[in-house]
A and B are shown apart, each in its own frame.
Chain A
Amino acid sequence: MCMELQLGLALPGSDTWSRPLLKLGLYEDINVNSKKRGFDHGYLEDEFSAASFKNYEKGLVGWPPVETWRRKKLRCQVHNHMTAAENGYCGGRASNSTYVKVKMEGVVIARKIDISIHQSFETLTTTLMTMFDIFDENRRSFKLTYQDKEGDWLIAEDVPWR
């Protein structure tokens, strides 16, 4: 199984486009994640070393090279059923930093994810499940929570995406 995963890594352009089976522990899962995210091989050697942690923390900024305004305009299109006036999020200056730290219970390493590239809880949850390698059948046992300004932990899906 370990060998399969390694092969999966070496063949990024496989015809079948199928993801390798994820049946092993955290280490192998990180391998697969780093393949998908295109991270430095240094990460595979020692996921706890400061350099690779930082690399992972930062994510792959500016890649693929799609201009920020183009990304924003495309993302905003999911809200096409809202009137223009409601959709203040898409208007005006957006803060540059849309990265959010995500931590999974029981996992040492927190991940960072760019919120601005997601249009709904669906895609955000799917990406997070992939990042932390939670399989479909286990999905339901995980809940997405966020910390508000007062420091309270609330369930994310209770509020609208905006």
Chain B
Amino acid sequence: MHKKMAFSFPDEVLEHVFSFIQSDKDRNAVSMVCKSWYEIERWCRRKVFVGNCYAVSPRMVIRRFPEFRSIELKGKPHFADFNLVPDGWGGYVSPWIEEMAGAYPWLEEIRLKRMVVTDESLELIAKSFKNFKVLVLSSCEGFSTDGLAVIAASCKNLKELDLRDCEVDDLSAHWLSHFPETYTSLVSLNISCLGSDEVSFSALERLVGRCTNLKTLRLNRAVPLDKIANILRHAPQLVEFGTGTYTADVRPDVYSDLAGVFSSCKELKSLSGFWDVVPDYLPAIYPVCSKLTSLNLSYATIQSPDLIKLVSHCPNLQRLLVLDYIEDSGLEVLASSCKDLQELRVFPSDPFGAEPNVSLTEQGLVAVSLGCPKLQSVLYFCRRMSNEALVTIARNRPNFTRFRLCIIEPKTADYLTLEPLDVGFGAIVQYCKDLKRLSLSGLLTDRVFEYIGTYAKKLEMLSVAFAGDSDLGLHHVLSGCESLRKLEIRDCPFGDKALLANAAKLETMRSLWMSSCAVSFAACKLLGQKMPRLNVEVIDERGPPDSRPENCPVDKLYIYRSIAGPRFDMPPFVWTMDEDSGLRL
């Protein structure tokens, strides 16, 4: 009876219904209902998300989704952000661009994260996709301003060019001038990562002036403060703005010019930049503060009093990124002024200093957790913590979805009781039932993992460093965390037993990273042999793993599920364990 009903809808009707389903997860669910839904869905999927570029091949994606317009790809493991993945590891986008260039002249959007992008690929994009609209490169590297120049010159319909936190080779400051005078469709431009001399001011001003739909503009450090006024004058409609260097000799005319131009930006909701900030110029932004929902001061090296003044002007703040100069006192003010705060990130101003340079402790986090009822995402660097504080935080704020705590010194115990912080983090996972992401730090035993395995049922990503006592810790996580997709571990005494006992679990996850742990080469080989749908990669710069005894621990291990089989673009220091030989070079 039900079967008949499913087939009685014409495809067009189903397609129309599916067009309202945008989320990747939902689309995947729809495609699993029955064969005909799978077929209909795959023809009308317009956005494809590939969380690990090595999990599937470009050809497989193109075969399944013949008409997508937008693709998002992620490459290197997250720990690459902290220099743990050696250069040359992989994550090359060119095979993808080459395949799509042939098959998809109508591709409109490409979003890449932690991938290696070359100028050749950028040129191929510019040449192949006539209606190309969106290029977002997040933490990517391998390209230069030459590639950007080609994009600028050729993509007449480009709306978004976002280079966030990329490493770009500066070859010419004039790539911006390659946007033709007739080009006006820019909506979003983020060049904040570009080095000192990679921008030409006059070209920038002209570009901003003629692109009347520009909503997001994030400048790089090279743009001086006195140029900002001119730029903003051309774009009072901006919603998101990132300044360049926010320093200049204090001059009343420059100040009033700046303040005046900020007042005319009635739509401004997000501010960032603020390199080299001079506190005297900060009040220039006060006119827009009351409307600000997002403020990124994570490069602003100003002290607590100036930060407090600024923050007190922003009652509608939802997102704040700031350095620990804000101190506990500043966070207390934040807690009382910004009741809409949803996300807070506090970065260390002196991460390598042996001793604290600011008065920022667990108290600041406690204050914010108490005062901000909507707070759900936290990244907090500090130098001390207590179980008591963590329990209080968990009780205050059970709506956390992301909780990342970094106590700077590894294995730091509870400063009040000298005990491990197991109970504190245990409270976090117990009270915060919707927790999706967790980063641990401090002194932790296997017990914390028992808590995590027991309570963190919605946890999708876990980051662990210098924690645990034995394989039992890893076992708790792998056997208990039902929703786990990404697990990254460094410097923990986890070895073969937990990994091999939970091999099947690894196929339900996107990836597992383990570095400086105790997993032996033998175990890696075994895993690679037993699990054909996992790519087990050993990264070891000391040389081939078989030049050492089998029970020797490998340096780094990256395991991910894949239907594309082992990859062939590995550098000499990466070996994949597969079912044939156990060792493939």
Contact = CB atoms under 8 A, between A and B. Distances in A.
Interface of A: 10-15, 17, 19, 36, 38, 60-71, 73-74, 76-77, 80, 84-85, 87-88, 90-94, 96, 114, 117, 127, 130
Nearest to B194: A91
A74 B299 contact: yes
A70 B82 contact: no
A76 B247 CA distance: 14
A14 B412 CA distance: 10
Interface in B396-439: 406, 408-415, 418, 439
Interface of B: 79, 81-84, 87, 139, 141, 165, 167-170, 193-198, 221-222, 224, 245, 247, 275-276, 298-299, 301, 347-349, 351-352, 354-356, 381, 383-384, 406, 408-415, 418, 439, 463, 465-466, 490
Contact of B79 (A62, A74, A77, A96): A62
A19 to B, nearest CB: 8
A96 B412 contact: no
A151 B347 CA distance: 40
B381 A13 contact: no
A76 B301 CA distance: 11
Given A12-B409, A66-B347, A84-B197, A73 B82 contact: no
A64 B167 contact: no
Given A67-B81, A68-B82, A96-B83, A91 B408 contact: no
Contacts of A11: 418
Contact of A84 (B193, B221, B381): B221
B82 A66 contact: yes
A10 B415 CA distance: 11
A66 B81 CA distance: 8
A14 B247 CA distance: 38
A54 B170 CA distance: 36
Given A64-B351, A93-B169, A117-B352, A87 B275 contact: no
Contacts of A12: 409, 411-413
Given A84-B197, A85-B197, 14 more contacts: A10-B418, A12-B411, A38-B410, A64-B348, A65-B463, A67-B82, A68-B82, A70-B299, A77-B275, A91-B196, A92-B169, A92-B195, A93-B168, A96-B83
Contacts of B348: 64, 66
Contacts of B465: 63, 65
Given A13-B384, A70-B298, A84 B224 contact: yes
A15 B197 contact: no
B83 A61 contact: yes
Contacts of B193: 69
A71 B351 contact: yes
A69 B413 contact: no
Nearest to B247: A80
A38 to B, nearest CB: 4
Please give me the 6 A-B residue pairs with the lowest Cβ-Cβ distance, nearest first: A91-B195, A13-B415, A62-B82, A80-B276, A91-B196, A38-B410
A11 B416 CA distance: 10
A69 B167 contact: yes
13 contacts: A13-B413, A62-B79, A63-B465, A65-B406, A65-B465, A68-B81, A73-B221, A76-B221, A77-B299, A80-B247, A84-B221, A91-B195, A91-B197
B265 to A, nearest CB: 24
Contacts of A63: 82, 410, 465
Nearest to B354: A36
Q: What's the dominant secondary structure at chain A's contact region?
A: loop
Contact of B170 (A68, A76, A92, A96): A92
A47 B179 CA distance: 60
A107 to B, nearest CB: 20
Contacts of A71: 351
A125 to B, nearest CB: 14
Nearest to A36: B354
A17 B276 contact: no
Contacts of A127: 352
A103 to B, nearest CB: 21
Interface hub of B224, B247, B347 (most chain A Cβ within 10 A)? B347
Nearest to B381: A64
A77 B351 contact: no
Given A70-B347, A91-B196, A80 B81 contact: no
Contacts of A85: 196-197
Nearest to A55: B516
Contacts of A117: 351-352
Contacts of B141: 93
Contacts of B415: 13-15
A88 B299 CA distance: 19
A70 B139 CA distance: 11
B393 to A, nearest CB: 17
Contacts of B414: 13
Contacts of B194: 91
B243 to A, nearest CB: 13
A94 B168 CA distance: 10
Contacts of A70: 165, 298-299, 347
A85 B200 CA distance: 12
A80 B275 contact: yes
Nearest to A79: B276
Contacts of A13: 383-384, 412-415, 418
Contact of B196 (A64, A65, A66, A84): A84
Nearest to A117: B352
A148 B167 CA distance: 28
Contacts of B412: 12-13
Contacts of B84: 61-62
A84 B352 contact: no
Contacts of A77: 275-276, 299, 301
Interface hub of A60, A73, A74 (most chain B Cβ within 10 A)? A74
Contacts of A60: 410
A17 B222 contact: no
A67 B165 contact: yes
A69 B384 CA distance: 25
A63 B82 CA distance: 7
B444 to A, nearest CB: 14
A41 B356 CA distance: 23
Interface hub of A15, A38, A64, A93 (most chain B Cβ within 10 A)? A64
A127 B354 CA distance: 9
